[in-house]
Amino acid sequence: MTAGEITGDTFEVFGTTAVLLVTSPDAAAAARSIADRLLAEVDLACSRFRPDSELSRLNAAGGEARTISPTFADLLAAALRAAKLTGGDVDPTCGRALTGLGYDRDFAAVRAAGDAPPRLTGPVGPVPGWRQVRLDHDARRVRLSGGAQLDLGATAKAWAADRCAEQIASSAGCGVLVSLGGDVAVAGDPPPDGWRVRVTDDHAAPASAAGQTVTISAGGLATSSTTVRAWTVGGRPVHHIIDPATGEPARSCWRTVSVAAGTCADANTASTAAIIRSAAAPAWLHDVGLPARLVRHDGTVETTAGWPRDDGPWEAA
Amino acid sequence: MSEHDARAAARDRDAGLAKITSITWRAGAAGVAVAGLLTVALGHHAAAPAGQSRSAIVIPAQPPQPTAGSGQVISGAS
């Protein structure tokens, strides 16, 4: 087995770009095979845009209980954990709010359609809330109450990145980095100087995009932003990070938040919560001990809990 | 034993049985209450799915380190 040389693979998944890096070129093909299998399972479990997904069928079940796959049970458990750990700020019952904003198909199609009239008229109001999701994980039974409609966009990609990295590292015995649309998970022995990650607004930006380069050796790093998955409805600019308290896109003083955590799922939970918590986010991240980089709309930067100093301001990527 | 003594003995026996019954009921009720409290306190642990039992966001082993140049990968929103 050749060691020490990093081999990369880039491909499309979940309507975004995936990057798979391994420290052993001999492991690349097997790593991609593991990733393809796991990502296909996740897509079939929780895509909101596939009528045959378990999530779509559960949303259409009218509140009746359903038996679900182990993968969907794990994804739901991760989403409910994120909700619990953030006091409900990262809530999986935002499906109806997003649909009401016209985000009811792959985002490329939403963006291509241009400005559209809103699907819902009048005040939206709070989302039903994560406690309306009744999951019995061991029995793999779930029921939605209170009109809840699921969207696992805040946690599923990051959870999948963690699982891919763990399974590949365990199987191949080498260092692995998995990025799914900018949600980064690493596992196994890292390269000698760590994994170099460029942190910026948009995961599809060029490597030279305005931002900061850092290294990580374990865990995960995730970025949430109000600037990328954004579109207009009835002439009103909107984005995909829903504040559960209002059912509307979060009004945040931050355009982009990046967080490092023990897992990519936890990093993404915290970065999404930080957007929603707005001015209260730095104190919360500091108290939790999470290193984070928060970028205001004017490009100025604030960091917490040991994140390296950043000499912004930065123009949007 | 006179009839009076026999009645007194029967009364004492009934009073003793009533006390034992009362104590038994109280002990049983207390047991049920304790079992209920334990169920509430520990039930969520029993129900926690594998891999999801961590009760707090996990902080990284070390914060990101500064470095120069471009990244091997980009972390941004998608």
Q: Which residue of A has its CA nearest to B54?
A: A81
CB-nearest partner of A199 from B65, B69, B75: B75
Q: Which residue of A has its CA nearest to B68?
A: A213
Size of interface A-B (CB pairs under 8 A): 179
Question: What single-letter amino acid sits at B25?
Answer: W
Contacts of A196 in chain B (CB under 8 A): 67, 69-73
Burial A67-77 (b: 16+ CB within 10 A, else e): ebeebbbbbbb
Q: Which residue of B has its CA nearest to A263?
A: B58
Please judge whether B60 and A218 are an interchain contact, meaning their C-beta atoms are less than 8 angstroms apart.
yes
Number of neighbours of residue B29 by Cβ within 10 angstroms? 10
Whole-number Å distance between alpha carbons of A63 and A67: 13
pTM over 0.90: no
A293–chain B nearest CA distance, Å: 10
Contacts of A256 in chain B (CB under 8 A): 76-77
Whole-number Å distance between alpha carbons of A65 and A27: 42
What was the pLDDT predicted at A4?
A: 61
Going residue by residue through chain A (317 aa), what tens digit of pLDDT does each one get?
444 689 999 999 998 999 999 999 999 999 999 999 999 999 999 999 999 999 999 999 999 999 999 999 999 999 999 999 999 999 999 999 888 888 888 878 877 777 776 666 556 789 999 999 999 999 999 999 999 999 999 899 999 999 999 999 999 999 999 999 999 999 999 999 999 999 988 877 777 778 999 999 999 999 999 987 778 888 888 888 999 999 989 999 999 999 999 999 999 999 999 999 999 999 999 999 999 999 999 999 999 999 998 876 666 66
- Side by side, the strands of the sheet bearing A183-187 are A7-13, A16-22, A176-180, A183-187, A219-225, A254-261, A292-296, A301-304
Read off the pLDDT band of B78 (50, 70, 90). confident
The tens digit of pLDDT for each residue in B13-47 reads 666 555 655 555 465 555 544 444 433 343 333 33
Please choose, from the candidates A199, A13, A154, the residue with its C-alpha nearest in 3D space to the C-alpha of residue B76. A199
B41–chain A nearest CA distance, Å: 17
Choose which CATH entry (3.10.520.10, 3.30.2350.10, 3.30.70.100, 3.40.830.10) describes domain A193-317: 3.10.520.10
Q: Which residue of B has its CA nearest to A286?
A: B59
